[in-house]
Chains A and B, each alone.
Chain A
Amino acid sequence: MGTMDPANSTPAVTIRDVTKRFGSVAAVDGVSLAIAPGEFFSLLGPSGSGKTTMLRMIAGFELPTSGRIELDGRDVTQSPPFDRDVNTVFQDYALFPHMNVMRNVEYGLRMKRVPKDERRTRAAHALATVRLEQFGDRKPDQLSGGQRQRVALARALVNEPKVLLLDEPLGALDLKLREEMQSELARIQRDVGITFIFVTHDQGEALTLSSRVAVFNHGRIEQVGTPREIYETPGSAFVAGFVGSASVIEGAAARALVGDDGPYSIRPERVTILAAETASSDANTIRANGQVTDVQYHGDGTRVQLQLEAGASMLAEVPNVGDQTSLPERGAKVTVGFRRSDMLSLHHAGAEPDQARAHVSRTHESGETP
């Protein structure tokens, strides 16, 4: 599944300068996007960044204040949801509690007056796709969370929409089930080939599943790119901080270490703690002295927070392999080293560079509030 070049074919979804205001608040502020057919496209961002509002405008539950939305080249900006060839998988699944699984899945086909026999066949096929063929007679409240999730998926997929919209569909599942469903989603998307637009606040999920990711912040898109691009060449301090962890070095500290004002970002796993205060920087490697301010055990690795003598704070990640006695303790003086090329220049820092100064933890779930 390669990313299609948007220029070569009509995009499945085109968003042109869309703004949505609720009163004086701009939930979505001048967003433009083109999503190619067959993409697994994620809208990633913290709570309140406008990603869900964007999805609801594509679905037709909200109308944009200004701008234009096209599906497969057709302007649907003002169309009601039932006139759009998209279907949604809701965060709370929104299964009809009074209908059994089969009737839930058939619902969309019934609305389109698909004959009964065909309806049954297609619904059964959709249930097979999500591996629930035996559950047609159950009521939603007799299913587990993961099973409900898959019914919701089948109910949307059975309509063979051009675009499937998924609004944090895995948010309510526990970790293990979420990981299972992630690979399930990826498999299904590969099998059916429908464009998926996936809203999530979980950067790990976005990076794992997507062909491309749009990072939202304050109603705007900070960066659009493949997961690798987003992670390895973040376009802004916000993206650097939000997608994975990064230390941002700028100003005097950057001048001392690199030679100009920056800003630069560096991933913790690219920072090595050296055994002793050894050699100084050379053309490829930068070394700096600092003091350990915090040590956090993270299972697969240990994060060491440092205050550099050059004046910046920096995170280093030490993989938890082999001998752990070499880990520095809080207050210890250490030397860190990293490649000059791992210092990523944040050319056009995002709207809120100061946000990225703090080290953003790997996931943002704890901060998620409606």
Chain B
Amino acid sequence: MGRDQGKLTPAESPSPRSGLRRRASRFFARHPGARVGAQIGAPGGWLLVVYIGSLTALIVTALYRLADDPTGLVTKLDTTIGFANFDRLISEPVYRNVALRTLQAAATVTIIDAIIAFPVAFFMGKVATPRTRRALVVAVTLPLWAGYLVKGYAWRSLLDPGGGALKQVLGHTPGFGYASSILVLAYLWFPFMVIPLFSGFERLPTSLLEASTDLGAKAGRTMRSVVLPQIVPSLVAGSIFTFSLTLGDFYMNRIVGGTTEFIGNVVYRQFSVDLPFAAAYAVVPIVIMVGYLLAVRRTGALDEL
């Protein structure tokens, strides 16, 4: 290879293509700004068009409404900008209740995941031997390789009140309902909580824990005064995942939620009947998430992502 290289240099075998390449290289070498632009241009454009574009379309649609129609059958868009859909969201208690229920579910799932993930991640990051640690990382992330529906229907057959595995083995099952939705969502998003926590614990110097005990703190006090404040950014980073994923989920309700409805279920139903209203309701979780991200920005959790 090394011997042949001399023969293959562009200088010795000029071709229009390599000349162009050289000119391009020279241009980019002299204009670092253009280089960066070319590198991020394509993905950036994609992001702008597909992501920002669809978001804008959603928000604009939310400001439209269905045209007035004496028969109640015609579904034509009235593109007058207005807040009628949002008025309806606020004035009709059911939409507030569903939104609050979704919010509550997101908070509950996040808390459950945090409580379970904290000791697991602590063990992984601070106690386990490197070998056990690797095994646990694999074990914790393994369910991510199975599909959402696969896991959902597996849980459905576990929870089935008409003779599912839980009923047969434990004699009791929460059946299909809100509790089961929470349970399965907490299961689904658990890796997204445990991994940021684990990496937080891994980065936390053991000497801090030793210093704390050395200065007279017992385990509980060390957890509260030293570990927890240090791990909060990781905890918040994990919660961004568990919270937003739950907030946007609706299909698990169809699989194990019984008659439970979240924002997504209503959006899905209204989508084909009253598109602007569905769009307006879909803006709600986005607003909640933006608010949440703004609120946690100061904790430094966003640097964890």
Contacts and interface: CB of A to CB of B under 8 A. Distances in A.
Whether the complex brings A and B within 8 Å at their CB atoms is answered yes
A88 B207 CA distance: 10
Nearest to A83: B216
Nearest to A61: B210
A194 to B, nearest CB: 15
Q: How large is the interface on B (under 10, 10 to 19, 20 to 34, 35 or more residues)?
A: 10 to 19
Nearest to A84: B214
Contact of B214 (A88, A95, A96): A88
A94 B205 contact: yes
B17 to A, nearest CB: 51
Contacts of B208: 94, 96
B11 interface: no
A81 interface: yes
B230 A107 contact: no
A87 interface: yes
A90 B205 CA distance: 11
B230 A88 contact: no
B213 A92 contact: no
Q: Looking at A98, A108, A111, A159, which has the most chain B CB atoms within 10 Å of its CB?
A: A111
A303 interface: no
B229 interface: yes
B277 to A, nearest CB: 46
Contacts of A86: 214
A159 B215 CA distance: 8
Given A82-B216, A112-B216, A96 B211 contact: yes
Contacts of B225: 96, 107
A87 B221 CA distance: 18
B21 to A, nearest CB: 46
A87 B205 contact: no
B212 A107 contact: yes
Contacts of A92: 205, 207
A61 B229 CA distance: 23
A356 interface: no
Interface in A43-61: 59-61
B226 interface: yes
Contacts of B221: 111
A94 B216 contact: no
Interface string B201-231: 0000101101111111110010001100110
Interface string A311-340: 000000000000000000000000000000
A88 B205 contact: no
Given A96-B226, A97-B230, A98-B229, A111 B216 contact: yes
A122 interface: no
Nearest to B211: A94
Nearest to A91: B207
Contact of A111 (B207, B217, B229, B230): B217
Contacts of A155: 211, 215
A81 B205 contact: no
Interface string A80-118: 111000111011101111100000000110011000000
B217 A90 contact: no
A25 to B, nearest CB: 15
B301 to A, nearest CB: 14
Contacts of B213: 60, 80-82
B210 A107 contact: no
Contacts of B226: 96
A81 B212 CA distance: 9
Given A96-B226, A97-B230, A82 B205 contact: no
Contact of A82 (B207, B214, B229): B214
Nearest to A96: B226
Contacts of B215: 82, 87, 107-108, 111, 155-156, 159
Contacts of A96: 208, 211-212, 225-226
Nearest to A98: B229
Contacts of B218: 80, 82
Given A90-B211, A96-B208, 12 more contacts: A59-B210, A81-B214, A86-B214, A90-B207, A90-B210, A91-B207, A94-B210, A94-B211, A96-B225, A111-B216, A111-B217, A112-B216
Q: Ordered nearest first, which 4 A-B pairs have the shortest CB separation?
A: A111-B216, A108-B215, A94-B207, A94-B211
